[in-house]
């Protein structure tokens, strides 16, 4: 007798960072579907995050005949289905069942190129379809695909919530931890539920989306010789210095593409994400380039 196992997607989480998906000043979210596909070809969240289930969740996943699968843009959880009903999980998934997935930083410049407070680098960010009871009702829930709302500082947890979650993890899981994605079978709103009222797989299955926005900074250029500028240039003298120029507007940091910064008949180079410096006196953030 031959037996075969059939699996179906239970839910999916995509994690997009516009630093990698935007192309210079061309914004990914405004691109055509064809251009989006081109940007996604080279996109890989492993450039900045390691994503994995917590030890406890890995055991729960295996115990419920589920499969965790990484993708270039996030992960999918699959469920083995019943032989008698292809919308029924092989093992029942109770309403209070939940899974935690760890977002661990791989790129130490993440907060330099992400539009988040620089001093929130020590905070824990939380993305879930169900709020913690230690957080206010205004705490944002994870968004469904197509919402296009970027992550804000509001996703950072309060101290007591962070402490409670960290107590669930071992010492190795806490290392380089930036965020937690917690997915419950039943969310705070019906649209965020993973299973329907009968405990069956939803069709279509839920796809969640976490979008990190790229940071915009003022670009500061240091020259070894005096520079002349005029009103048509994209830069101006900073503090009257002829060897220190600054962009008139904030400019986006991106991993691909090129932002044209005109200085006379020359296009100035774009900065990388390493030299990013905040100035608390004027509440501005600068990227520095040495010419």
| 111 and 29 co-located in one domain | yes
Q: How many separate domains does the chain show?
A: 2
Looking at residue 209, what is its pLDDT? 98
Domain boundary among 153, 183, 212: 212
Looking at residue 169, what is its pLDDT? 96
Enter the pTM of the model: 0.94
| 70 and 124 co-located in one domain | yes
Q: What is the pLDDT along the chain (291 residues), one digit of tens a residue?
A: 345 579 999 999 999 999 999 999 999 999 999 999 999 999 999 999 999 999 999 999 999 999 999 999 999 999 998 888 888 888 999 999 999 999 999 999 999 999 999 999 999 999 999 999 999 999 999 999 999 999 999 999 999 999 999 999 999 999 999 999 999 999 999 999 999 999 999 999 999 999 999 999 999 999 999 999 998 999 999 988 899 999 999 999 999 999 999 999 999 999 999 989 999 889 999 999 998
| 97 and 221 co-located in one domain | no
**1 in a structural domain:** no
Helices (H), strands (E): how many in the chain? Answer: 6, 17
| 154 and 24 co-located in one domain | yes
Alpha carbon separation from 249 to 86, 88, 286 (Å, rounded): 55, 55, 11
Looking at residue 2, what is its pLDDT? 43
| 71 and 205 co-located in one domain | yes
Alpha carbon separation from 106 to 19, 22, 51 (Å, rounded): 15, 20, 10
Alpha carbon separation from 23 to 29, 40, 217 (Å, rounded): 11, 12, 16
Which residues are within 8 A (CB) of 120 and not within 5 positions of it... i.e. 6 or more apart? 111, 153, 156
Structural domain of 96: 7-212
| 141 and 278 co-located in one domain | no
Domain boundary among 153, 180, 212: 212
**2 in a structural domain:** no
Looking at residue 4, what is its pLDDT? 58
Looking at residue 84, what is its pLDDT? 80
Tell me the two tokens of residue 68: 């965790």
């Amino acid at each position: 007798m031959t037996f075969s196992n059939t699996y179906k997607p239970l839910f999916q989480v995509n994690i997009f960072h516009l630093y990698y998906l935007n192309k210079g000043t061309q914004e990914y979210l405004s691109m055509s579907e064809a251009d989006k596909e081109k940007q996604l070809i080279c996109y890989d969240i492993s450039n900045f995050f390691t994503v994995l289930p917590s030890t406890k969740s890995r055991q729960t996943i295996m115990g419920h005949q589920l499969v965790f699968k990484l993708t270039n843009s996030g992960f999918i959880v699959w469920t083995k289905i019943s032989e008698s009903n292809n919308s029924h999980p092989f093992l029942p998934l109770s309403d209070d069942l939940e899974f935690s997935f760890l977002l661990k930083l791989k790129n130490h410049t993440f907060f330099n190129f992400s539009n988040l407070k620089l001093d929130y680098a020590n905070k824990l960010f939380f993305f879930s379809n169900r709020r913690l009871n230690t957080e206010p009702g205004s705490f944002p829930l994870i968004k469904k695909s197509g919402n296009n709302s970027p992550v804000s500082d509001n996703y950072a947890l309060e101290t007591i919530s962070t402490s409670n979650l960290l107590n669930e993890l071992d010492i190795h899981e806490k290392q380089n931890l930036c965020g937690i994605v917690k997915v419950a079978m039943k969310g705070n709103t019906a649209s965020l539920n993973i299973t329907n009222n009968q405990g069956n797989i939803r069709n279509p299955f839920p796809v969640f989306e976490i979008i990190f926005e790229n940071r915009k900074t003022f670009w500061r250029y240091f020259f070894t010789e005096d520079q002349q500028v005029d009103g048509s240039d994209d830069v101006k003298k900073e503090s009257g210095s002829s060897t220190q120029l600054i962009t008139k507007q904030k400019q986006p940091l991106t991993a691909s593409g090129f932002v044209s910064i005109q200085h006379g008949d020359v296009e100035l180079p774009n900065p990388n994400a390493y030299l990013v410096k905040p100035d608390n006196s004027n509440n501005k953030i600068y990227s520095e380039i040495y010419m």
